Each structure stands twice: as C-alpha cells, then as structure tokens.
C-alpha cells in the first residue's frame, strides 16, 4: 500500500556536496567512499547559465530516458503515461550529474514526481550501466521514502542476475539521502548510499565545484571501471550478461 507523501518544497536548481559509499557484502566484502557533487533540477526550469559556463553543466534529453528529440520533462511524462500515471503538469525534480564537456555518466538518476497540489505521486529511478544501457523503475515509496522492487536490469557483472532492491529515497531538502540495498536469496549483496547537503547553484558555487572536482562524470566512470578491475583481479565470479529488453516505448 502506498502512503501519501506530504508536499515538500525544495528550491531548484541546487548543488549537493555528497559522499557516495558502496559496501559489497558476502564472500568478498569490500567498501569504498568518494566525495562528489550532484545537481537537483526542476525539469520545467532547467538551469540558465552564462554561455561560457554551459559546456560544463548541461542537461540533455539524450542522456536520459526516452526520445532525444523531446525534452527530459516530456520523456518522463510519456514514460509515466505508459505506466498509467498522469501528473497533470505537476512538478518533477531530477537528481543527476550534469554533462561536462560533452560527456556524462549517471549510475542512477532519481525523479521525484508530484501532482499539481505538490503531493508526491511516485518516484522514478533510472539506472544506467557501463554498456550504454538504461532501465527505469517505478517506485511508490511509503512516508519514510522506502520502496522495494525486483531487479530487472544488468548493472554489474559482479552481482547475481536475480534479486531485489530495498530503497530509501525520501524527497530532497536541505539534505539528500538515497540508500539502495540489493539482496538475493543468500542475503544482502551490495549497499550503496548517497548523502549530502544542499547549496544554491550560483555561478560562483558552480565554478568552485568545477575547480575542486574537474571532469566529474569522467571521474565517476573511471572509478567504476577501476573498482570493477580490482574485483576481477581478486577472482570475483562474473555473472553472464543477457540482452537488455527495451522498456521506454521508443526505439
């Protein structure tokens, strides 16, 4: 049963200074933590940056679900319509990395979807893998932001094919907290947590982040591959990859 989420007002765009941690459970336990930044944007009011700054912080439809010739907002509405959900113009907040110098990689993009009165209607978790594929999960969190869903997408070669996710994705505010735990019949296999604090996305703040962590999307993709190579060198079993079944309503 879905518990209605009270309306939450959060100014966007905003930057979040976040810590991302991954804990691998089981026979080969590992843990790592990285400091990053990420964006929260309103899909109806994407950031309007000075021309010289735009190559360092873009939000393009081609980087997310749906048709690259439509807006991100139109694509989310279209996908939700396929699931029988009509927001009737309600607000959609997106947590994601921005495209930097022509490249972006978002392991997960979260969309908090609201009705016109501000009440949360659902959450969409858009997951990307390093094979250029993506999959969207429709979630109906409870009042604490908790939701569960089965695993239907190949993310990591070091995780089993079957299992389910336990998520906690409360609406963002002064702080953001996203927690995802994957488990199978043997128990927890992976826990990923993103947590951080909000700052207004002013031009000085954006420039500071670009100087502190240049080429952030490139770094995220490189770190994922580095950790994957480390697991492979340790002899962790690789799960076979199956063809991805497209589920966005376009080709």
Q: CA-CA distance, 14 to 201, in Å (whole number)?
A: 5
The Cα-based distances of 16 to 57, 64, 82, 196, 201 in angstroms read: 14, 20, 31, 6, 9
Closest of 241, 250, 231, 247 to residue 27, by C-alpha: 231
Q: Encode pLDDT of 50-83 as tens digits.
A: 999 999 999 999 999 999 999 999 999 999 999 9
Instruction: Give percent of the chain above pLDDT 90.
Output: 65
**Got the DSSP string for 87-155?**
-TT--EEEEEPPBBTTB---SEEEEEEE-TTS-EEEEEEEEE-TTS-EEEEEE---TTSEEEEE--S--
Q: Which residues pair with residue 17 across a beta bridge?
A: 37, 197
Burial of residue 140, with CB atoms counted within 10 A of its CB: 0-12 exposed, 13-18 middle, 19 or more buried: middle
- If you average pLDDT over residues 105-122, what whole number do you get? 96
Q: Is the pLDDT score of 155 beyond 50?
A: yes
- Ramachandran category for residue 187: left, alpha or beta (phi over 0 → left; psi -120 to 50 → alpha): left
pLDDT class of 5 with cuts at 50, 70, 90:
low
Of 54-63, 82-91, 137-146, 232-241, which range is least confident? 232-241
Is residue 133 over pLDDT 70? yes
pLDDT above 50: residue 145: yes
Angle value at C-alpha 165, between 227 and 22, nearest 5 degrees: 25
Q: How confident is the model at residue 233 (pLDDT cuts 50, 70, 90)?
A: confident
Q: Where are the domains of the chain?
A: 14-233
| Dihedral, 222, 223, 229, 232 alpha carbons, nearest 10 | -140
What mean pLDDT value characterizes the chain? 89
* pLDDT at residue number 31: 84
> Residue 9's pLDDT is what?
57
pTM of the model: 0.91
The more confident residue out of 172 and 236 is 172
Query: What integer pLDDT is reported at residue 251 of this predicted model?
Result: 40
Supply the pLDDT for residue 185: 84
Q: Do 55 and 103 meet the contact criterion of CB atoms below 8 Å apart?
A: no
- Which pLDDT score, from 0 to 100, does residue 249 have? 53
Residues 159-181 have pLDDT tens digits of 878 889 999 999 999 999 999 99
- Least confident among 12-26, 95-109, 138-152, 194-208: 12-26
Considering only CA atoms, which of 24, 12, 21 is closest in space to residue 194? 21
């Amino acid at each position: 049963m879905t518990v209605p989420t009270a309306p939450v007002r959060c100014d966007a765009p905003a930057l979040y200074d976040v810590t991302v941690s991954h804990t691998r459970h089981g026979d080969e336990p590992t843990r790592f933590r990285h400091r990053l930044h990420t964006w929260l944007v309103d899909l109806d009011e994407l950031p309007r940056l000075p021309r010289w700054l735009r190559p360092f912080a873009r939000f393009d439809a081609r980087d997310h679900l749906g048709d690259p010739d439509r807006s991100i907002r139109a694509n989310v509405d279209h996908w939700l319509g396929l699931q029988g959900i009509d927001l009737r113009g309600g607000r959609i907040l997106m947590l994601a990395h921005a495209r930097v110098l022509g490249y972006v990689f978002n392991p997960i993009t979260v969309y908090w979807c609201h009705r016109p009165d501000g009440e949360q209607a659902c959450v969409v978790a858009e997951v990307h893998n390093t094979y250029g594929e993506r999959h969207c999960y429709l979630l109906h969190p409870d009042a604490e932001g908790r939701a569960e869903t089965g695993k239907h997408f190949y993310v990591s070669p070091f995780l089993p094919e079957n299992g389910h996710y336990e998520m906690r994705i409360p609406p963002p505010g002064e702080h953001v907290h996203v927690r995802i735990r994957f488990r199978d019949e043997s128990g927890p296999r992976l826990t990923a947590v993103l947590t951080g604090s909000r700052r207004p996305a002013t031009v000085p703040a954006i420039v500071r982040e670009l100087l502190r962590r240049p080429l952030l999307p490139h770094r995220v993709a490189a770190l994922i591959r580095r950790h994957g190579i480390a697991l492979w060198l340790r002899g962790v079993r690789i799960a076979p990859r199956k063809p991805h079944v497209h589920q966005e309503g376009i080709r």
